[in-house]
Amino acid sequence: MKPAEQTKNTEFSRFLRAEVARVAARGPKPEGQCEIIAVLPAPAAKAEDKSAPKSGLKNQKAAKKSSSVLVRKGFEDYRVLAGRLAGAEEISSKAGSTCLVRFAGMRGADHVLFVGTGSDKSGVNALGAAERLRRLGAQVAHKLSAEKIKSANVYLDSFLGRETALAVSADLAAYAFLEGMGLASYRFDKYFSKADKKKDGALSVKLVAPDASSLLKYTKGLDTAKALVRGAEICRDLGNEPSNELHPALYADRAKEFAVEHGLKISVLDERNLAKEKMGLLLGVGQGSVNPPRLIVMEYAPPRAKKTIAFVGKGITFDSGGISIKPSARMEDMKHDMCGSAAVAGAIAACARLKLPVRVIAVIAAAENMPDGKAIQPGNILRGRNGKTVEVTNTDAEGRLVLADALDYVQDMKPDYVIDLATLTGAATITLGKVCAGLMGNDARFNRMVKDAAAQSGERVWELPLFDEYFEDLKSDYADMRNAGDTPANGTAKGAMFLQQFIRKETKWVHLDIASVAYAIPHIPYNPKKSSTGYGVRLLVNLARNLK
């Protein structure tokens, strides 16, 4: 530590001691170990910014530097403290910055955690208000966990306001903030042989509101957040399981367990049923493995449901590439090749938990793609359930094969909408980076609905075109189509183009290529550093919620 910093810190501690005594003397606070309060940028500084001439960059900078941070009205006890701390540069309104003040041994709360909300950012590419609150919630959860704090009172009112563009409704605010906290608290540690002594107990969070009606709205948001976080946990747990613990038959067993837990109907088609259904594409992919494929169909059918939506997920429990085998580097990540189907499972569970008045069908096309004496070989021709034939030119383009049969199957159940999620192409990351999923569909209105749901959940999507010309590269000399083309050009859309051959004219359908976002996305604070993100669960549930 540099001497200058040392001096500053000594001053800071002296100041804190005095200030803490002053605040504590004011009487008891609501019960809790930690109170969480937002720090906003001062509105005066913003007004100054606005009135500054456009060329006056210097003025703007000066205004920013001298601007103080603010604690919202109703929290006067902390206003002075925050103001002084700002002077000491210990506290900031920068988005996600945290400053924990310890009140140990005093009356009232033991600690106060000040959280910077950041300032207003608008524009088409800015994060929405709900997503910013979600990320703030995650940052708070990480800080509380690092400080081993077990219970907290959140003064959510202090976060909401025009200065921060966080002017959203109370239930949405509570939902997003708590969802962020919940998602950030996820752990996957079941395979460590020693019980984790450091394991945090569950964090207890209480929302504190200025009046009873706000509290009621907050509670509504809390219920939604709980169901969605649980759905995402189901997805992450499935996504993180190694393939020796989650091959297709074991996957079906797990699905049966949580179908019972959530009151869902379930049927599992084994290899005999799949043969009866003439699902030659799904069977073909699975034939190189000692663990045969399964089609898992779950249904949540509440009385008086008017609409039906079908979620279909790619469930390749391990993708070696088959005979077109993959290079060995990071091949262990290929246990995540079922994340699309895990999202579908988590989503239907959450829909049931929220008792949505919509019929939801979830289909998991589960298979293990392995090289073996019986495995399909490049050049083999398979026949799908809808009668179309496919020349398999690359056995590593297997996801589209299993999905094609699953999509054909689910259309017999007459859904109003069909959406599939799949870690389908590496090209999705090349096109969009690891920040966004690719969206392709055959109905502009349904595409829009999916985009709206994605905006609500903060799970980004971007639409790619399905130009007819893209199919040219999938034409085969020997069959109706081939599963891979000659060029890597527009690989993501070409994957969707293949799937579209199995979509009936009347079906409203969207394909989400989630290969770029399904695992290892650490830059989002509510995601685990590595492993499955749970992408898609909340998007799907919002989509179903908006249907009612």
Catalytic residue ranges: 326, 400
x-or-dash string of contact with Zn ion, 270-309, rule CB under 5 A: ----------------------------------------
The radius of gyration of the chain from alpha carbons, rounded to an integer in Å, stands at 26
End-to-end CA distance of the chain: 59
φ, ψ of residue 451 to 5 degrees: the values are -65, -40
Q: How far is the CB of 416 from Zn ion (least distance, A)?
A: 31
Which residue is associated with the tokens 């994060």?
Answer: 127
DSSP secondary structure, 417-486, as one string: EEEEEE---THHHHHH-TT-EEEEES-HHHHHHHHHHHHHHT--EEE----GGGGGGG--SSSSEESS-S
- Residue 398 CB, nearest approach to Zn ion (Å): 5
Closest distance to Zn ion from the beta carbon of 399 (Å):
6
157 binds Zn ion (CB under 5 A): no
Interface map 392-411 toward Zn ion (x if CB under 5 A) = ----x-x-------------
Measured from the CB atom, is 77 or 396 closer to Zn ion? Answer: 396
Is 222 or 285 the residue whose CB approaches Zn ion more closely? Answer: 285
Candidate ranges 196-204, 315-323, 418-426, 444-452; the one touching Zn ion (CB under 5 A)? 315-323
Of residues 391 and 396, the one with the C-beta less far from Zn ion: 396
Q: Determine the Cα–Cα distance for residues 242 and 188; give it in Å rounded to an integer.
A: 12
Residues 102-141 that bind Zn ion (CB under 5 A): none
What x/- string results for residues 416 through 435 when contact with Zn ion is judged by CB under 5 A? --------------------
Shortest distance, CB of residue 336 to Zn ion, whole angstroms?
12
Sign of the torsion angle spanned by Cα atoms 479, 484, 486, 489: positive
Angle ∠(358,355,447) on CA atoms, nearest 5: 40
**b/e per residue, 457-496, with b = 16+ CB within 10 A?**
bbbbbeebebeeebbebbeeeebbbbbbbeeeebbbbbbb
In whole angstroms, the minimum distance from the beta carbon of 244 to Zn ion comes to 19
DSSP string, 219-277: HHHHHHHHHHHHHHHHHHHHHHS-TTT-SHHHHHHHHHHHHHHHT-EEEEE-HHHHHHT
Residue 513 binds Zn ion (CB under 5 A): no
Q: Are 164 and 94 in contact (CB under 8 A)?
A: no
Nearer to Zn ion by Cβ, of 179 and 396: the residue is: 396
CA dist., res. 221 & res. 64, Å (int):
34
Nearest C-alpha neighbor of 115 from the set 69, 179, 184, 165: 69
Which 3 state secondary structure label does DSSP give 313?
strand
What distance lies between CA 198 and its chain's CA centroid?
27
Helix (H, G, I), strand (E, B) or coil at 14: helix
Running DSSP on this structure, what letter comes out for residue 206?
A: E
The tokens for 365 are 């096309």
Q: Which of these segments, 65-73, 298-306, 314-322, 423-431, binds Zn ion (CB under 5 A)?
A: 314-322
Closer residue to Zn ion, CB minimum distance, 33 or 516 = 516
If the CB atoms of residues 349 and 512 are measured against Zn ion, the closer one turns out to be 512
Give the span between the Cα atoms of 165 and 123, in whole angstroms. 12
Instruction: Give the nearer residue to Zn ion in terms of CB position, either 486 or 506.
Output: 486
**Closest by alpha carbon to 418, among 268, 330, 309?**
309
Rule CB under 5 A: is residue 319 a binding residue for Zn ion? yes
- How many whole angstroms separate alpha carbon 258 and alpha carbon 261? 5
Task: Report the nearest approach of Zn ion to the CB of residue 337 (Å).
Answer: 7
Helices 57-66 and 43-51, packing angle to 10 deg: 170
Total residues in contact with Zn ion, by rule CB under 5 A? 3
Compute the least distance from the CB of residue 437 to Zn ion, in Å. 18
Q: Which two tokens stand for residue 241?
A: 């399981």
Q: Six-digit token pair at 329?
A: 């580097």
Q: Which is nearer to Zn ion, 302 or 426 (CB)?
A: 426
Q: How far is the CB of 369 from Zn ion (least distance, A)?
A: 6
Closest separation between CB of residue 483 and Zn ion, Å?
10
Based on CB atoms, which residue is closest to Zn ion, 398 or 459?
398
Binding to Zn ion, residues 337-396 (CB under 5 A): 396
Instruction: Quote the least distance from Cβ 367 to Zn ion, whole Å.
Output: 11
Nearer to Zn ion among residue 90 and residue 398 (C-beta): 398
Would you tell me which residues interact with Zn ion (CB under 5 A)?
319, 396, 398
